[in-house]
Amino acid sequence: MPETVLDRPPLLQMRGIVKRFPGVTALDGVSLHLAPGEVLALMGENGAGKSTLMKILGGAYQPDEGEILIDGKRVVLDGVSEAKRLGIALIHQELMLAPNLDIAANIFLGNERAATLLAPLHRRELNRRALALLARTGLKLPPTTPVSTLTAGTMQMVEVAKALSLDARIIIMDEPTSSLTAGESEHLFAIIRQLKAEGIGIVYISHRMEEVLTLADRITVLRDGRYVGDIARADATTDAIVAMMVGRELKGQYFPPKSPAGVDAPAPAAQPPAAAAPDTGTAADPILKVEDLKVPGAPAGVSFSAARGEILGFAGLVGSGRTELMETIFGVTPAESGKMILDGKPYLPRAPRDAIERGVYLAPEDRKRHGLVLPMTIAENTSLASVGSYNRWGWLDRKTEKRVADAEVARLRTRTPSIRQKVVNLSGGNQQKVVLGKWLAMSPKVLILDEPTRGIDVGAKAEIYRHMAELAEQGIAIIMVSSDMEEIIGMSDRVVVMHERRIKGVLARRELTQQRIARLMTGHTDERGKGDAAA
Amino acid sequence: MRRELSMFAALVLMCIALTISNPDFAGHSNAINTIRQISMLGIYAIGSGFVIVTGGIDLSVGSMVGLTGVIIAKISSQAQGGMGLSLGLGIVVALAVVLLIGLGQGLLITRLKLQPFIVTLGGMLLIRGVSQTIVQGGTLSMGSSPLLKLANEGLFNVGGDPLLPYPAMIFLGVIALATYLLHFTVFGRYVYAIGGNRDAAQYSGINVNRVETSTYVISAGLAGVAGICYAAYIGQMSQQVGVAYELYAIAAVVLGGCSLRGGEGTVLGIVIGSAMMRVIDNGINMFQLRYNDPDGVPRLWRLNPNWTFIIVGAVILIAVILDQVVHIVQSARHVRHGAGPTQLASGGPPPAGAPPLEPRPAAPETARSP
């Protein structure tokens, strides 16, 4: 962006921003600038200070030092409403919508343009304006639709409409695609390009490299609360960015190499694709066999199997029924019919404790809600699922608890000062390691990981992948639900693709291409052979 | 509105059944008294409703109802123990005190981030103690204060009883005002937004603290208004006036379809809930069955008044259980019928459709597997 250098001041400049929290300096002299119509990607590992910086820009935090200039004029963002007044809109990672209100109410929340709080609300007028904004975001829904009925992608669009309603000149998006499907993401990108054409400056925070490389004009990298550098899109490569983010070259593969002893054994690989096709539904050495299992609310039963030492990927759109299926396998919502065989014996869990007893564990999608007790320590979380076995004469055996937690922290290289650290204070990647540690301490047979790396930064992701590969090598069957295509393709031995709560197809490792998975995900039948030719 | 409609239907059925069993239920003396009771409960239940819609709770309502009456009696009663000053002064001071208490509680909750339950529990006990100290553990008579007319008189007298007692008129005024505030103003929208997603409200630039504090002031103020009515109605103020009223208010609010999680409920629902509570109370006294004993003598079977709390408790539980069951059944049906609604105009991942605005870029290279 050479024009940012001279005469016209940039749309936004942040200079020397310092923000201290008790005990930590979250930001230490960070600067960034943004031109109109520019998409600036802000990257950095979790804890690098991206969110803090953006909260300062959004008026939610006040910086301790440094200045912010808009159009070259110094501004003080002493509150969310002041930031909004200046045309700064922040779209949070956790969507900030009130589910009990309708779309129009959410779009104009805090921006009703009423003289006083007690002034009447002009619903018809707001609905009319909402309709126009929704059209700009490509949503065809009545503005009176309650937000609680929307999908994550639609909610994201409502957030965009909300930003547009402020006549925002700067829109900050914090990991906007983390819960979107591929199609929804594409839609969002199209909207972003349109906003760009309208001269709106966009700060885009994401961990997804491919997104950043296609969308951003420029990338600013932060590390440990410090500004590391800028890199123009033309010069940007994944390796260069990752190196800047982690401060060292990430050696070797992002995804760990798969041992050939895996499930995608040489035997089927040697066969022609057409002959291998019918066999891909069943694993060679199944530890878990699912037969015609009917999940409550699903239209029909599903069948598949998972083998010892296999990483079985589950691809599909959000709402395709993957999470629900996993919850049934884990006993959260018992099956309506069908059967499962675990280790040669029938397995029909009525509650998670039945599953845990048999060695089937689930690391849920929303780890903060279902996977961890945030205000408890690492040690307490690690022992939580098996706390009965830490019983000594009725007392909780804290010594063993400590030993086990220490061992898991060491094994997974969880970054923490101590196992007495509260989980809420850990970064996303380390929290996920605590979830893994909890189950690993109990020697799993089948480990179900639902979106194992959502919201986790690159460095920690690679570590999680390495651990997954190691666990698989130890003979654990890993079922991985993921919406991250790279992850699905990079990690899975086989991939089950779901669409509208049915299994649409099972692809072997060598058949994995983004196109084939995407076709199945969207309900198209797989064209075997074609995909192979492309791959 | 589902909850409101079904509760209203249940209320109508209950009234019809009670009228059939005991025609006195609909007689104007009982009916007017029940309306007065509904009104007095409804006034402060609506106040509680404001707090509950934000996701908070106000346990100090009953104590404030009592304190209002005690202050009025202390300042304006001509009887023994009273200061004999003007009634107007008593009312103004009493309302000012409870509004200030409401403001104080609201500020503690919003500024110090204390939990509403604890703050208002403390307030409830503290205020009760103040009332007790003022009446010195005994009673304070209102004497022949003109205030007594407030409860017992009204408009459209029929056979000595007013068809519209003053508390009912106040109630109608409160309903109108609260409906406007909660359902037709920006303020009301904010109250719901805070209850639905406090962070979203905060990040939308709403002054959450101010709106939330206001709801505690409203709750206190309406408790004060109800307190004036109760003072007029009872005439003898003791520390016992208003004990456990906050629980009646919460029950009425929940029966009327509010969720204690916040973000849900309507003024109309609270009105219906209040009516439900009072009709049940009254119905326990009025309900009777005629039967002939073995000797053929006609007798009346009545409910044991000791069962009052059993019946009230059971009704609340049955109402929330039914509501939840209906909810579960509906959401199960929703899942079965509408799996994966397509909401984006241009939907569809990769091969399905192109975004509307410009050509989709070539699918990025992702297959980086070894």
CATH 3.40.50.300 domain locations along chain A: 2-87+168-246, 284-534
Asked if B255 and B230 count as a contact pair (C-beta separation under 8 A), the reply is no
Contact A183, A320 (CB under 8 A): no
Contacts of A500 in chain B (CB under 8 A): 339-340
* Beta-strand pair A24-34/B298-302: unpaired
Q: Specify the pairing of strand B161-165 against strand A286-294.
A: unpaired
Per CB-CB distance under 8 Å, the chain A contacts of B367 are 489, 512-514, 535
pLDDT at A403: 84
As a whole number, mean pLDDT of residues A231-241 equals: 83
pLDDT at B338: 43
Contacts of A333 in chain B (CB under 8 A): none
Type of residue at A527: E
List, for residues B87-138, the tens digit of each pLDDT value.
899 999 999 999 999 999 999 999 999 999 999 999 999 999 999 999 888 8
Angstrom distance (rounded) from CA B276 to CA A531: 66
Q: How many CB pairs under 8 A join A and B?
A: 201
pLDDT at A282 exceeding the cut of 70: no
Question: What is the Cα–Cα distance from A498 to A506, expressed in whole angstroms?
Answer: 9
Partner-chain residue, chosen from B180, B336, B348, that has the shortest CB–CB distance to A183: B348
pLDDT in tens, B275-289: 999 999 899 888 888
Distance from the Cα of A344 to chain B's closest Cα (Å) equals 32
Judge contact between B18 and B25, C-beta under 8 A.
yes
Q: Answer yes or no: are the C-beta atoms of B24 and B256 closer than 8 Å.
A: no
Question: Chain A closest CA to B204's CA: distance in Å?
Answer: 5
Contact across the interface for B192 and A181, Cβ inside 8 Å: no
Residue A293 to residue A299: CA distance in whole angstroms: 11
Tens digits of residue pLDDT in A435-481: 888 888 888 899 999 888 877 777 778 888 888 888 888 889 999 99
For residues A153 and B343, the answer to whether their CB atoms sit within 8 Å is: yes
pLDDT of residue B346: 40
Tokens of A236: 């940007």
Using DSSP, state whether A522 is helix, strand or coil. Answer: coil
Q: Which two tokens stand for residue A253?
A: 């593969």
Whether the per-residue pLDDT at A534 is higher than 60: the answer is no
**Of the candidate ranges A159-163, A192-196, A369-373, B185-189, the one whose mean pLDDT is the lowest:** A369-373
The reply to whether A534 touches chain B by the CB within 8 Å rule is no
Round the average pLDDT of chain B to a whole number and report it: 85
The token pair at B254 is 């929940």
Confidence class for position B357, pLDDT limits 50, 70, 90: very low
The proportion of chain B whose per-residue pLDDT surpasses 70, expressed as a percent, equals 88
List CB contacts (< 8 A) between B370 and chain A: 253, 255, 257-258
| Residue A278, pLDDT score | 40
pLDDT at A284: 65
Phi-psi region of A136 (alpha: psi -120 to 50; beta: other; left: phi over 0): alpha
Residues in A closer than 8 angstroms to B203, CB to CB, are 58, 60, 80, 90, 92, 96
Beta-sheet strands, E only, within A9-94 = 12-21, 24-34, 39-43, 65-70, 73-75, 88-91
This prediction's pTM:
0.73
pLDDT at A283: 60
- pLDDT of A7: 58
- According to CATH, the superfamily of the domain at A284-534 is P-loop containing nucleotide triphosphate hydrolases (3.40.50.300)
pLDDT number for residue A248: 56
Is it the case that residue B353 has pLDDT exceeding 60? no
Q: How far apart are CA A52 and CA A56, in angstroms?
A: 6
Q: What pLDDT score does B96 carry?
A: 97
**Distances in whole angstroms, Cα of residue A401 to Cα of each of A31, A376, A391, A406:** 45, 13, 10, 8
Angle at B323 between CA B319 and CA B324, to 5 degrees: 120
B contacts of A109 (beta carbons < 8 Å): 189-190, 193, 200-201, 204, 206
A522/B344 CB distance under 8 A = no
CA distances, A261 to each of A13, A253, A310, A342, B100 (Å): 54, 19, 10, 22, 75
The pLDDT of residue B78 is: 82
How far is the C-alpha of A485 from the C-alpha of B339, rounded, in Å? 23
| CATH code for the structural domain at B2-333 | 1.10.3470
Helix-helix angle A123-136:A152-165, to 10 degrees: 110
Say which range, A77-86, A111-120, A134-143, B242-251, has the weakest mean pLDDT: A111-120
Residue-averaged pLDDT of chain A: 82
pLDDT over 80 (residue A409) = yes
Between residues B175 and A251, which one has the greater pLDDT?
B175
For residue B290, give the 3-state DSSP assignment: strand
Would the pLDDT of A483 be above 90?
A: no
The pLDDT confidence band at residue B4, using thresholds 50, 70 and 90, is confident
For residue A277, what pLDDT is reported?
A: 37
Contact B197 A96 (CB under 8 A): yes
**What percent of chain A stands above pLDDT 90?**
21
pLDDT band at A258 (very low <50, low <70, confident <90, very high): low
pLDDT value of residue A405: 86
Overall average pLDDT of the B160-173 stretch? 87
pLDDT score recorded for residue B339:
40
A321-364 residue pLDDT tens: 888 899 999 988 888 889 899 988 999 898 888 888 888 988 88
Q: What is the pLDDT of residue B200?
A: 87
Q: Who's near A167: CB < 8 A, 6+ residues apart? A: A87
What percent of chain B stands above pLDDT 90? Answer: 49
Which contacts of B344-347 are long-range, i.e. CB under 8 A and separated by 24 or more positions? B344/A138, B344/A139, B344/A153, B344/A154, B344/A157, B344/A183, B344/A184, B344/A187, B345/A138, B345/A139, B345/A140, B346/A138, B346/A187, B346/A190, B347/A183, B347/A184, B347/A187
Evaluated on CA atoms A88, A94, A95, A97, the torsion sign reads negative
What pLDDT sits at residue A143? Answer: 92
Chain Cα centroid distance, residue A214: 19
| pLDDT single digits (tens) B285-306 | 888 888 888 888 888 888 888 8
Task: Report, at the CATH architecture level, how domain A2-87+168-246 is classified.
Answer: 3-Layer(aba) Sandwich (3.40)
Contact predicate B288/B30, CB 8 Å: no
Is A390's Cβ below 8 Å from some Cβ in B? Answer: no
What's the pLDDT score for residue A270?
36
Given a cut of 80, whether residue A395 has pLDDT beyond it is no
**C-alpha distance from B195 to closest chain A C-alpha (Å):** 8
Please give the full DSSP string across A190-211, using - where no structure is assigned. Answer: HHHHHHHHTT-EEEEE-S-HHH
Helices (DSSP H) in B162-304: which residue ranges?
Answer: 166-184, 186-196, 198-203, 208-234, 245-255, 267-286
Asked if the Cβ–Cβ distance from B205 to A141 is below 8 Å, we say no
Per-residue model confidence (pLDDT) at position B366: 37
Q: Kindly compute the dihedral angle of the four CA atoms of residues A387, A392, A397, A403, in this order, to the nearest 10 degrees.
A: -90
Q: What DSSP designation does A384 have?
A: G
pLDDT at residue A64 tops 80? yes
CA distance A473 to A308: 9
Cβ-Cβ contacts under 8 Å, B188 against chain A: 121
Can you give the residue ranges of every domain in chain B?
Answer: 2-333
Task: Give the nearest chain B residue to A185 (CA atoms).
Answer: B349
- On the question of pLDDT at A489 being above 70, the answer is yes
Give residue for tokens 């760009």: A196
